[in-house]
Structure 1
Amino acid sequence: MSDAARILAEHGLKVSAIGSPIGKVFIDEDFDAHLQRAQHAVEVAHHFGARYVRIFSFFIRPDDHREEVLRRMRALAEVAEGIEYRRARGRPAPAGGPDEANRCRGGVRGRVHRPLRGH
C-alpha cells in the first residue's frame, strides 16, 4: 500500500473512496470475519486519505431481518474511525429494497450515508 500511495502522490492523484464488498453477504451468514474486513477497509481508507468506504446493506432471505441489519450496521459504524460509509445499491436491491434500506439507515446512528451515485 505504501508504494501505491507514493505513486499516486508522485502523480498528484488522491483517493476519494475505497470500494469494498462489505454488506454483500446474506444477513444470516457469519458476521465476525465480515466485521474484520470492514476494519481493514477503514485502515486502507486512512492510509490513502480517503473519506469514504463503499458498503452494501446485506442480502436478505424472505424473513424479517431489520433488527439484524441494524445491529450489523451499528457494528460497522463503531469501527468507522472518522470514515463515512456510502451505501451502494446492489442488484437486486439488498435489505428489502430501497425503502427498507432507507428505514434501516435511519435506525443507525453514525456514519452510514446516502447511496453513492452510479451504483
Structure 2
Amino acid sequence: MTRTTLAFCLGLLAFSPACNKAGGGSSIPEAARQEAKTVFDTRCVTCHGPRGAGDGPGAVALTPKPRNFQDKAWQGSITDSQIETIIKSGGMAVGKSPAMPPNPDLDAKPQVVAALREHIRSLAQ
C-alpha cells in the first residue's frame, strides 16, 4: 500500500460516524437507551421540545432560546465530546447559556450520556 493510499484510508476512517462516538463506537446497551429516553422526556423536552426543535413549553421564557437539535449546521459544528460535556456540565461549562443546567447525576452514567448524545444526533435526520 502506498503512503498516499494509506493517508487516504486513514482520512476516511477519521470521518467515519463510528469514530466520532464516545467509547470508539462501542454499542450502547438497551437499558441505557431506555434511561436516556426517560431523562430526555423528563428533563430536556421542557425546553428543547419533544423533537428537539428548541420549542418546548419552557422555551418561551428563555433568552437565548434553547438549542434546536434539528439544525444540521449546528450538528456539523459540534463534536460528540462537546455534546456530552454540555449534557453533564451544563451550558456555562462551555461558555453558553447558564439556562442549560448541569446534570451531575449523569457523571457516573457514561452509557446513558452516550445514549442521550446519540438521540440528540438522531434529531437532525
Using the size of structure 2 for normalisation, the TM-score is: 0.25
Larger radius of gyration: 2
Using the size of structure 1 for normalisation, the TM-score is: 0.26
